[in-house]
Structure 1
Amino acid sequence: MPARMRLEEVAPEGYRTVMELHAYARATVDPVLLELVKLRASMVNRCAYCVDTHSTEATEAGEDPRRLFALAAWRETPFFSARERAALALTDAVTRVADAGVPDDVWDEVTRHFTEKEAADLVMAIIMMNSFNRIAISTRKVPAVP
């Protein structure tokens, strides 16, 4: 399936804005947590390009591949801390926001583990990843064949 366009070339100013949000997320969210959020959102959105990119980056950064594989069924595994679980639940809710919004129980769990500023930064990171998923999916960006 060929790519439709390279959005970063066709609309560089808009793409640069999304990249600035990515830089913000990298500066404000714990790097391990950020990689989990990026990969989980990409799995939920079924973005092949981003799943490939973020699983590769997380592995290269030293993340345990077993935890990365388990993100597909994170609720059923013992591999994630309570803080990570709160972030993953928020990632799922924000990514699927049209289904049920962000339920109060999900938000309450986030506020148990994150300060208000950390929660805000986490929401921004989830929004950023969903933006990149939508860019990659709509333009048919595909991972390179190994």
Structure 2
Amino acid sequence: MSLRLNYRQVNAPAFRAMMAAEQHNAGRGLDKVLAELVKIRVSQINGCAFCLDMHAKDLLKLGDYQEKLVLVSVWREAPVFSGKERALLELAESVTLISQGGVPQAVYDNVREYVSEEEFVDWILSINTINNWNRIAISTGMYPGVSM
């Protein structure tokens, strides 16, 4: 494996724009564990090894979440996830795979049982941000362990 290019160096303004979105998301008060689970699930769907590796490590830094880490790809069949976690993981899948069926009303309604309209927008932005990071990492050839 080889890094195609260091996007941070060749286009620093683009990197800063992505970091601004990330910093905005971090400042919105979203549950940190759930945010990492969402990032992991989206990265699994997109096949982004770099982001999956990073966010799995970030989740484990938050505490003993090994079981959830192992089971997040099969969250529907795993009883370790709360109703809110299930709702947001389903939303993350719907947004990531949006061309396959949009975000069904039932998914929206389920998420809204747990979050306000404002928080819904925060989660959508967070989901879109990790999708963007995945696409940048994959397109530029990033892989676990690469130093930037």
Q: TM-score, normalised by structure 2?
A: 0.94
For 1:56-111, what per-residue CA distance to the aligned partner results, in whole angstroms no more than 9, with x for missing partners?
Answer: 11111214111011011011100111111110000000011111111111111111
* TM-aligned CA distance change 1:63 to 1:132, over 3 Å: farther
Counterpart CA distance in 1 for 2:92 and 2:139 is 20
The percentage of aligned residue pairs carrying the same residue is 38
Runs of 4+ in structure 1 deviating by more than 3 angstroms, as ranges, are none
Q: TM-score, normalised by structure 1?
A: 0.96
Secondary structure of 2:63 counterpart:
coil
Secondary structure of 2:89 counterpart:
helix
What is the match of residue 77 of structure 1? 78
Listed as ranges, the gaps of 5+ residues in structure 1 are: none
Count of aligned residue pairs for this structure pair = 145
* TM-aligned CA distance change 1:48 to 1:18, over 3 Å: same
Q: State whether residues 32 and 63 of structure 1, in contact with CA within 8 Å, keep that contact through their aligned partners in structure 2.
A: no
What is the match of residue 113 of structure 2? 112
Secondary structure of 2:113 counterpart:
helix
* Residue pairs, 1:80-99, within 5 angstroms: 80-99=81-100
Counterpart CA distance in 2 for 1:139 and 1:50 is 13
Q: State whether residues 26 and 34 of structure 1, in contact with CA within 8 Å, keep that contact through their aligned partners in structure 2.
A: no
Counterpart CA distance in 2 for 1:15 and 1:88 is 26
The question of 1:49 aligning with 2:54 is answered no
For 1:1-40, what per-residue CA distance to the aligned partner results, in whole angstroms no more than 9, with x for missing partners?
Answer: 2111111111110111111111111111121111111111
The question of 1:133 aligning with 2:134 is answered yes
What is the match of residue 26 of structure 2? 26
